[in-house]
Structure 1
C-alpha cells in the first residue's frame, strides 16, 4: 500500500542514521564536559574504561585496536595517563613487551568516567525489556556490518568470539551457548565488550554470524 508520505519522506535507513548522528553528537559533547572535569580527554577516558574491563591489562597494540586509533596516537594517550599516575606499565609475557594496567587512582577514575553516558542509559530504560533486547540485537548487527567493511575495529562482542555458538539450542528463551562457561544464554545477555573474549577464526565467525542472523 502506497501513501502520500512515501513521496515526501526520506528512506528509513537515512532517518535512523540521522538519529544516531544526533545521539553521537550529544555523547561527544557530554564526554568532553565530563573529561574536562576529571582532567582527561575523552580518548583517555575510553582507554581507562577499556583497562577497567581488562584486569590483567592490555598491550599497546590491543588498546590501539579497541580505540580505533593509530599506534602512535595510542602511545601518546597512554603516556599521558602514565604521567598522571592513572596507568602503570607491567612486564608482558613476551620478552621486552609490556602490559598496561590501572593504578588504584586510575581504577577509581575509571569508575567515575563510566557514568558519563548515564543520561542515555536512562533513556534506554524507558523502553520495555523486549524493545531493549531488540535494540541490542540491532546494534550488534550494525557494529558487525561496519566491522566487516573495515570502518571500525573488531570489538570484543559475543558474535566474534570463539566461545560463542549462535542459536545452538531450541529454547527460544536461551538459544545461544557460551563454551567458556558451558551454559546457554539469551539475546539480552549478549555482550559488546567481554573481558574473556577470544577472537574466533574466520570460518567459525562467519558460521556463527549466519546462524545469528537467520
Structure 2
C-alpha cells in the first residue's frame, strides 16, 4: 500500500466516525423515547393503550424489515430534500438515522422489559405518578440495558456506513469499493476491513466497560 493512501484511509475513517456518531446521536434522540412509549403502552403497563401500541409496533416493524441498501436508495429524494444532496457523508447520515431509529426503539423496549415489575408496583403503592415512575424507576433501572442498546446500534451503524459507501456515501466503504474492488488493490481492501473491525471492537469494548461501571445489580 502506497504512502499516499494512508491520508486517504485516515480521512475515510474520520468520515465513517462522523456518520456513525451523528446518525447514532439523532437516532437515540428519537429511538429511546419511541422505545419507552412502546413499552409503556403495552397492555397492563403504566400507560396501557393497545391500539397505539399496535400502530407504533407496526411502523417500527416495517422500518426494521426494509434492507438498509434498499432504504438507502428509496429515500434519495427525501435525503436531497433534507441536506440538498444524495452523496457525501451528511447525505449518508439521513438513511443511517432512519434505519437506526426502529432498531434502537426495539432494543430500548426490550431493556425496559427487564426491569422487575415489583419495583414499579412498589412505586405505585407509594403514590408515585407515572412520570415519576418513568424518571425514578424505569429509566435508572434500565440504564445498563439502554447503554448496551446504544452500543449495539453504533456497532450496527458501522456496517451500515460501509454499505452507504456503495452509493457515494463516503467513508471506509467508499474507499474499499473504489480502490479495493474496482482497482483490484487487495491491500486497500484488507486495510479497510481491519479498520472496520477495530472500530467495532473499540465501540463494543467501551460500551461493555461503561455498562459494567454503572450496573450495580
Bigger share in helix:
2
Settle same-fold status: TM greater than 0.5: no
TM norm structure 1: 0.26
Bigger share in strand:
1
Q: Which has the higher contact order (CA 8 A, sep 6+)?
A: 2
TM norm structure 2: 0.26
